[in-house]
Structure 1
Amino acid sequence: MPQEPMAATLGRSAAVGPFFSVRTGAGSPRDQGFLPLAELYGEGASPALRSRVDTVAMRLGTAERRVAASLVQQGLAGRLWSIALAPAVLAGRVPDLGGDALWWHPDRSTPDELWLPSPSPLGPDAEEDLTSRLRAAVLHGHLMPLHRAISAVTPISARVLWGNAASALVGTLRVLHGWCRKTGHPDAAERAVALTASLLDDDPLRDCGTLDPAVPEFSRRSCCLYYRVPGGGLCGDCVLRRPGR
C-alpha cells in the first residue's frame, strides 16, 4: 500500500500544536518575506539573523545580545525538532529539511514560521533508522550550522547553545508525549521517549543534562540565560534550580 504524501503526514502532525505546524505547498516564499535557512549558515554573521537577535533583544528589554541570541536559537531549535520528531513518532517518517528546502520568516516569531514548499521524506525508510534520520535532518542539517551562525552574530557559550538544543528536544517530547497519551496513542508516546533518549545519548547532546523517561522531564547542566531578562525567571529544567547553583 503506497504511503500518504509527506505533506499529509506533516498536516496530521500539526494537530499536536502550533510548534508542530509547517506550511506546505507551492508558492513564492521569498516574495512573502521568507528566507531559506541555508542563507543563515554561510560564512560570517547573517544580516537576517543579526536583525532577529537585535529585534528579540529590544522586545525583551535586554542590552545583552547573548541572551537574545540564546533565546532565538532555542526557539528555532524547538520548531525544527517538532516538525521532525512528530512525523517520526506518528508515521515512522522524517521529512527532508534540507537548508535550501526549508524556508524561515525572519520577522515572525513564537513560534517561528516555517515553509516547506515541496515536502518529501528523508531517504528510503529501510536504509536508516529513525534516530539516524532525525540526527541528519535536524542536528547535522540545522543545529550544527545554526550554532556556528549564532556564534558569529555574538559571542556565546557552546555549552549554553547545546543545552538549549537538548532542552528544546525534551520540550518537544513533553508536548508530543502528552498529546499521544491524551489521544489514545500510548505506543507512540513510548516511541517518542525512546527516540528522544537515543538522540540525547550521542554527541553533542550527551552531556547536556539528564532525562527522566518516566515523566518525562529533563534536568539540564546549563542555563538558557532567560533569568537575565528583566522580569524573567528560571525555566523548569534549569541548572540554577538545583541546590548549590
Structure 2
Amino acid sequence: MDTAGVELRPVLDEVGRINPFFRVEARAEEPGRRPVRDCTVEEARGRVADVRRSPAGPGGDPAAVEWRVAASLFHQGLATRLLSPVLAAGLCHGVLLDARAFDWRPGAPVELGTGQRTAARVRGGLVGVADWIEESVVTGVAARVAEALSEAGRVAPGLLRGNTAAALAGAVRVLGSDRPKVRADAESVARDLLARPALAGTGGYRGVDPEGLAVFRRTTCCLYYRLPGGGLCGDCALRG
C-alpha cells in the first residue's frame, strides 16, 4: 500500500477527542513496544491475567474471575480500540489508518500508539472503508489476537468473532452519536461488514432507539454477566 499522502498526527489528535477508545498516540520508535499484530500466546496470557486481577479489586481473588470471561473482556476492549480510530479516520477524514501498525507496551495498560506518519486516501467510498477495516482489523489484528487467546486457553472462537462484531457496532454507535453527519455512513459500513464471511452470523441491527441510532443485537454472549456483580450488556443475545 502506498501510504504517502495525508499527515496523520492531526487526524489522530482529532478523532482521539471522541473518547479514549478512539485514541492512538503518534509516537517515534520506542524501545520495549511491540506491534499488537505480533501478540504472542504468552502476551495474551499476560493480558488476561491483568484483566482477572482488575475486576477482583485490591486484595481480591483473581480466581473468582473465570479465564474465558477475562479473555473475552480483554478481546472486546482491544477490538474496540482497534476499530474505533480506523473507522473514524476513514469516515471523518477519508484516510486509511493502519491498525497493523499499532503497538503497545507488554505488561502495561493497553494504550495504543503508531509509527505510521502518513496515510493514503480512501478509495471506493464506503465499500473502500469497509474493505480496509476488514483487512486491517477484522481479519487482521483482531483475528490474530483472537488466535493467540484461543491457543492460550479455553475460549470459543465464535465468541471472539462476536466480540469483534459488538466492538464494531459500539464504535459505530459512539461515532454516530458524536458525529451525526457520518452516522448513516457508519451504520452502512457496519451492515456491509456484518454480512461478510468474517463476521456473518455474529449479529445484526434491529430497528433504532429513541435517539435514531441503530440497535445492534449479537448472537453470542461476551460473558460479562459471569463477573461478580456483572449483568447483561445492551446487545446481549441473552436478552432474546
Asked if the contact 1:57–1:64 (Cα under 8 Å) also holds between the matched residues in 2, the reply is yes
Alpha-carbon distance between aligned partners in 1 of 2:229 and 2:87, rounded to the nearest angstrom = 32
Cα deviations by residue, 1:181-200 (Å, 9 ceiling, x for unpaired): 2xxxx2x1211111111111
Cα deviations by residue, 1:65-93 (Å, 9 ceiling, x for unpaired): 01100111111000000110011110121
For 2:218, which of 216, 220, 229 is the aligned residue? 220
Q: Which residue in the other structure is 2:140 paired with?
A: 141
How far did residue 63 of structure 1 move? Answer: 3.9
Q: Which residue in the other structure is 2:168 paired with?
A: 169
List alignment gaps of at least 5 residues for structure 1: none
Asked if the contact 1:53–1:69 (Cα under 8 Å) also holds between the matched residues in 2, the reply is yes
Q: Which residue in the other structure is 1:52 paired with?
A: 47
Alpha-carbon distance between aligned partners in 2 of 1:82 and 1:220, rounded to the nearest angstrom = 18
Q: Which residue in the other structure is 2:61 paired with?
A: none
How far did residue 15 of structure 1 move? Answer: 2.0
Percent identity, please.
Answer: 33
Q: Which residue in the other structure is 2:232 paired with?
A: 234
Q: Which residue in the other structure is 1:103 paired with?
A: 103
Q: CA RMSD in A?
A: 2.0
Cα deviations by residue, 1:115-146 (Å, 9 ceiling, x for unpaired): 1023332x564478121111111112212211
Q: Which residue in the other structure is 2:197 paired with?
A: 203
- 1:6 corresponds to which letter in structure 2? L
Asked if the contact 1:29–1:115 (Cα under 8 Å) also holds between the matched residues in 2, the reply is no
Asked if the contact 2:94–2:121 (Cα under 8 Å) also holds between the matched residues in 1, the reply is no
How far did residue 108 of structure 1 move? Answer: 4.2
Change (3 A) 1:212 1:90: farther
Asked if the contact 2:69–2:222 (Cα under 8 Å) also holds between the matched residues in 1, the reply is yes
When structure 1 is superposed on structure 2, of 10-19 and 216-225 the one drifting more is 10-19
- 1:54 corresponds to which letter in structure 2? A
Asked if the contact 1:96–1:119 (Cα under 8 Å) also holds between the matched residues in 2, the reply is no
Q: Which residue in the other structure is 1:118 paired with?
A: 116
How far did residue 204 of structure 1 move? Answer: 2.1
Structure-1-length-normalised TM-score: 0.84
Alpha-carbon distance between aligned partners in 1 of 2:84 and 2:108, rounded to the nearest angstrom = 17
How far did residue 239 of structure 1 move? Answer: 0.9
List alignment gaps of at least 5 residues for structure 2: 57-63
Asked if the contact 1:29–1:103 (Cα under 8 Å) also holds between the matched residues in 2, the reply is no
Alpha-carbon distance between aligned partners in 2 of 1:224 and 1:108, rounded to the nearest angstrom = 24
**1:199 alignment partner, SS class:** helix
When structure 1 is superposed on structure 2, of 71-80 and 142-151 the one drifting more is 142-151
Cα deviations by residue, 1:39-71 (Å, 9 ceiling, x for unpaired): 315xxx2x2221111121122233410110011
Work out the number of aligned pairs and report it.
224
How far did residue 173 of structure 1 move? Answer: 0.7
Alpha-carbon distance between aligned partners in 2 of 1:80 and 1:108, rounded to the nearest angstrom = 17
- 1:200 corresponds to which letter in structure 2? L
Change (3 A) 1:115 1:234: same
When structure 1 is superposed on structure 2, of 87-96 and 69-78 the one drifting more is 87-96
Asked if the contact 2:162–2:199 (Cα under 8 Å) also holds between the matched residues in 1, the reply is yes
When structure 1 is superposed on structure 2, of 161-170 and 20-29 the one drifting more is 20-29
**1:83 alignment partner, SS class:** helix
